[in-house]
Amino acid sequence: MDSFKRPINRYRRFSRREMLGILGGATAALVTFGRDRSEVNAAAALPACVVRPEQTEGPFFIDEQSNRSDIRSGPFDDSVKQGTPLRLQFQVSRIDGTSCRPFQAAVVDVWHCDALGIYSGVRDDRQSDLRGRKFLRGYQITNAKGIADFLTIYPGWYEGRCVHIHFKIRGESAARRQYAFTSQLYFPDSITDQVHSSAPYNSRGRRAVLNEDDFLFRNGGKQLIPKLSKNGQGYAAIFEIGLRLA
């Protein structure tokens, strides 16, 4: 990883209201795979590589450089965010010509709100100042099999959006160009209903936006739902993604 330098974060902290206004006027970009017939045929020949749509970064990415698998608490805070446990695994492949192989040494960032719809690291128009807090944020580096694992909680909801998790994958192409892919994960409404019927989620009441009502989900969200299975008192989610690097 010495050759891969994590970018310096330069950003303005927008309020949630501002971000929803910005995102509402934008159209989510799709990954530029399948532009012509030859690329469509190449995709059909790659059953092990799953190309997913790219979506907007949204709120609130911060390059915290928190290398940790368990993101339920802040690295300097012993308190653990309460919620249904979620073990989230990314299986990342890189597409080279007509073949795919594990994308080793890629940086996978994950960030999302807690059971009450609150993000760490920011201050917005609904919550106290949480700048400096790092719960439900972190990154992992993919292993030789292209896998990155996280232990987190099932996300809650906030006004204007369906339930989701943000992620970003960064690495180097074969030509040593730095590459970044950003998108979001979604969950079946039926499972979200079950999870959100229990504490601490139910203290907020039923969420206002379902998947099909969400302006970003309608732009490829069905391809961004991980495989979910019960895992003890929580869930395990596996998300397979193939990336075509220039």
Residue at 17 is within a domain: no
From CA 245, how far away is CA 172, in angstroms rounded?
Answer: 8
pLDDT band per the 50, 70, 90 thresholds, residue 127: low
Domain count across the chain: 1
Which letter does DSSP use for residue 47 in this model?
A: T
pLDDT in tens, 50-81: 888 999 877 676 776 689 999 998 766 667 99
> What's residue 56's pLDDT?
80
Cβ atoms of 8 and 63 within 8 Å: the answer is: yes
Domain that residue 97 falls in: 29-244
> What's residue 38's pLDDT?
38
Residue at 160 is within a domain: yes
DSSP per-residue codes, 75-128: TT---B--S-EEEEEEEEEEEETTEEEE-TT-EEEEE---TTS--SS---SSS-
In this predicted model, which residue has the larger pLDDT, 34 or 191?
191
Residue at 80 is within a domain: yes
Identify the CA nearest to 4 among candidates 161, 127, 142, 208. Answer: 142
Identify the CA nearest to 34 among candidates 168, 223, 199, 167. Answer: 223
**pLDDT above 60: residue 34:** no
Domain with residue 113: its CATH number is 2.60.130.10
Residue at 42 is within a domain: yes
pLDDT in tens, 180-232: 999 999 999 999 999 999 999 999 989 999 999 999 999 999 999 999 999 99
Identify the CA nearest to 199 among candidates 77, 108, 122, 116. Answer: 116
- The lowest-confidence range among 6-15, 108-117, 145-154, 228-237 is 6-15
Residue at 6 is within a domain: no
Residue at 15 is within a domain: no
- Widest pairwise Cα distance in the chain: 53
Residue at 20 is within a domain: no
pLDDT in tens, 86-125: 999 999 999 887 788 999 999 999 999 999 998 986 666 5
- Mean pLDDT value of segment 133-161: 94
Residue at 83 is within a domain: yes
> What's residue 226's pLDDT?
97
